[in-house]
Amino acid sequence: MNDALMKNYEKTFMKEVAVIHAPFEEAPHTVAFVEVPAHLCDEEMCEIAFKKTNTIEEVWWKNEGVTYVGPEKTCRSTSTGDYVLIGTRKYKCAFTGWELV
């Protein structure tokens, strides 16, 4: 597939969400932009962003569909109290699930 078609596909079917780390930090800051399928509901997008920003077998910032923008060379995994921003909607990672802030 050529580059123009691929960019059009991504623009049409994928969406970028921001992952913001807040607890354990001096101030909240964006650490990554994560590509998620655009047709999913917000909670499903949050779950994908959460999974893609957690280290399981390899450091998370090397995961496909993740653009790391954190202030340091390395970064902790996303956890309870962190946020996912979808457009203008901000969700907080709760003990179970996601809370609209």
77 in a domain, yes or no?
yes
With a threshold of 0.85, does the pTM exceed it? Answer: yes
* Segments forming the whole domain that contains residue 34: 14-100
Instruction: Report strand pairing: 98-100 vs 66-68.
Output: unpaired
Strand partners, 26: none
pLDDT means over runs of 10, the chain (101 residues): 61 90 91 97 98 95 96 94 98 97 95
Q: What pLDDT score does 25 carry? A: 81
* Pair of tokens at residue 29: 């800051």
* Residue 6: predicted pLDDT: 59
Q: Domain count of the chain? A: 1
**Cα separation of 32 and 26, whole Å?**
17
| 89 domain residue, yes or no | yes
Residue 20 lies in a domain: yes
Of 2, 100, 97, 99, residue with least CA distance to 50: 97
Nearest-angstrom CA–CA distance, 25 and 33: 18
Nearest to 60 by CA among 79, 88, 38, 40: 79
